[in-house]
Structure 1
Amino acid sequence: MSTTTVQAGAQAPAAGPEPITEPGIYDMSNEEYHSHRYALSSSGARKLIEASPAHFRYEQDHPQPVKKAWDIGNAAHRLVLGNGPELRLVDYERWDTKAAKAEVAEARAEGAVPLKRAEYEQVHEMADVLRRHPVASLLFDPEHGTPERSLFWRDAPTGVMRRARLDWLPSPRSGRLIIPDYKTCVSAKPERLERVIDDLGYHQQDDTYRSACHALGIADDDAAFVFVCQEKTPPYVITVIEVNAAARRIGAARNRRALEIFAHCTATGYWPGYSDDVVPVSLPPWAETRDTLEYL
């Protein structure tokens, strides 16, 4: 697929607010950030690569509703970063009663995160553990950084506007700049996190955030981007990881492909599925081997 330059104001993938055309660091809510769907994000790039442009476009036009599964991560982010939605304790033993359902619905309608008593205590314990961690506590030191800043910049080869939302923007200081991103996880064991990097595309996120910081003059080539990964069960172990050079190169190549696809689809207005051609398919290798021995 050839690279296509898209000028500012070209056909956007979905309706939204007035487009941002000036690269910069913006202070906006998480909801406002996600409404700028004409600008390609890291998660959008991953969807284009791993699914199809049609899936990407559908999700842009039909934003996902809030899911209960996101509550612990969102609440932990709020306590770690000191910024985000209100945490609302819905203190009922059961949440299937009329009164509990009403409070949960009210909290969601007001943009708060409703939590059960055990969940409320859980996320506070997670934040306490992080504040005692020798590295993570320094990376998210409230005296040396600002939470949740939205970065917008234009990709030079394609003209596509890109966006990224940093969990934490460190204050300028002497020495190597380290930009952290907070993740909750099932296991913070390094060997398990290798699989998570691939499954969730953290290497693409790494490249996206590095590209944003370089484009806006926040960081030079020596800057580090790290993931602070914390388990969601006691003792809430934390592992700080940095994606290696090989993974970063692959993440950058995947992002470049996604940008070219996004530019082409935006210019043509056509968002295809997996393929428009007849696709030859075979049996899975194990089935072919099994049936070849049995029947051929």
Structure 2
Amino acid sequence: MIQHTSGIHDVPESDYHGDRRSLSVSGAKVLLDCPARYRWQQDNPVHKDAYDFGHVAHELILGKGAGYRVLDFDSWRSKDAREAKEQAHADGVAPILTAEHERALALADAVKAHPTAAAILANGHAEKAIYAEHADTGVLLRGRADWITKKADSTPVVADVKTTVSAAPKNIDRAMADYGYAMQAAWYIDLLALNGTPDASFIFLFVEKTAPHFVTLATPSDDALEWGRAKNEKAIRLYAECANTDTWPGYPTHEANVPAWAWKDIDEA
């Protein structure tokens, strides 16, 4: 594996995700929940079938990816289907059922039919890996941008494709915190700033997984970026402490309580 330093690089997807000497924003999210879980996932990479659909959708939209294989089965229940899926993973490509592939094609067509999304994706570079060193701790940070393009004034824009159940604005706002999307936006903007580009912006391209595949473009607010940046800074410093001491604690001792809503029945009674 090539050891990358600060800068923007073309890195194979497997090498990027297998990099254990740097911290990604997805790792930062896990770390804030539980350092021990972060270390376990580093030693035991987690794979979910939903990842395969996302990889295929991204490749169809962005025109770049690790590749995929369409398998003509109704489901993964049969032995032959499971073996074919395992073989695809072993070959380094994402397996996808025929029906799911058709859904991914329709989803990609919806994004490309959206005038603003199409304009963003008309020119740019897909799947670029960005590395930078955190100034205070020396932690090496990394990110893999779905798409990097430029505005009319030549300032860079990072675009990220998100497949979702609902692209309704209210659900996007909730996802900024629930899924740490605000952390991701701040992470990539700051990675580019650390590489000498301080004026970058970020935009999400949300597309619904089911027909009619509504598309919503969302730019994080200044408040969202401030929240995300604060969470990122906390995670980076926690990572530095854990890595320097090689100590990855689990959950702390907790005084258990009941949530506020649980009192409702008693109050009503």
The answer (yes or no) to whether the contact 2:148–2:157 under 8 Å persists in 1 is: no
| 1:132 pairs with 2:83 | no
| 1:210 pairs with 2:189 | yes
Q: What 5-or-longer segments of structure 1 have no aligned partner?
A: 1-16
The residue aligned with 1:3 is none
Distance 1:93 1:18, change over 3 A: closer
* SS at 1:124 equivalent: helix
Task: Map residues 70-149 of structure 1 onto 2, 5 A cutoff.
Answer: 70-141=51-122, 144-149=123-128
Whose radius of gyration is greater, 1 or 2? 1
Give percent identity, aligned residues only: 35
Give the drift of 1:239: 0.4
Report which structure shows greater RCO (CA 8 Å, sep ≥6): 1
The answer (yes or no) to whether the contact 1:182–1:229 under 8 Å persists in 2 is: yes
The answer (yes or no) to whether the contact 2:148–2:156 under 8 Å persists in 1 is: no
* SS at 1:263 equivalent: helix
Q: Number of residues paired by the alignment?
A: 269
Give the drift of 1:27: 0.6
- Letter paired with 1:99: D
- Letter paired with 1:282: N
The answer (yes or no) to whether the contact 1:147–1:167 under 8 Å persists in 2 is: yes
| 1:25 pairs with 2:2 | no
- Letter paired with 2:22: A
* SS at 1:140 equivalent: helix
The residue aligned with 1:42 is 25
* SS at 1:135 equivalent: helix
Report Cα offsets for 1:45-79 as digits up to 9, x if no partner: 11122x11111111112111x32122221110011
* SS at 1:165 equivalent: strand
Distance 1:288 1:187 in 2: 32
Output the aligned Cα RMSD. Answer: 2.2
Of 167, 179, 186, 2:165 maps to: 186
Distance 1:31 1:261 in 2: 26
Q: TM-score, normalised by structure 1?
A: 0.84
Report Cα offsets for 1:138-175 as digits up to 9, x if no partner: 1111xx21110111110001111100111112258635
Give the drift of 1:180: 0.6
Give the drift of 1:95: 4.0
Give the drift of 1:85: 2.6
The answer (yes or no) to whether the contact 1:146–1:171 under 8 Å persists in 2 is: no
Distance 1:192 1:39, change over 3 A: same
Distance 2:250 2:114 in 1: 45
Of 37, 56, 62, 1:55 maps to: 37
Distance 1:42 1:267 in 2: 19
Q: TM-score, normalised by structure 2?
A: 0.91
Distance 2:113 2:137 in 1: 44
The residue aligned with 2:257 is 282
The residue aligned with 1:166 is 145
Q: What 5-or-longer segments of structure 2 have no aligned partner?
A: none
Distance 1:160 1:291 in 2: 50
* SS at 1:184 equivalent: strand
Of 217, 239, 255, 1:262 maps to: 239
Distance 1:173 1:32, change over 3 A: farther
Task: Map residues 219-234 of structure 1 onto 2, 5 A cutoff.
Answer: 219-221=197-199, 223-234=200-211
Distance 1:97 1:271, change over 3 A: closer
Stretch of structure 1 that moved more, 278-287 or 103-112: 278-287
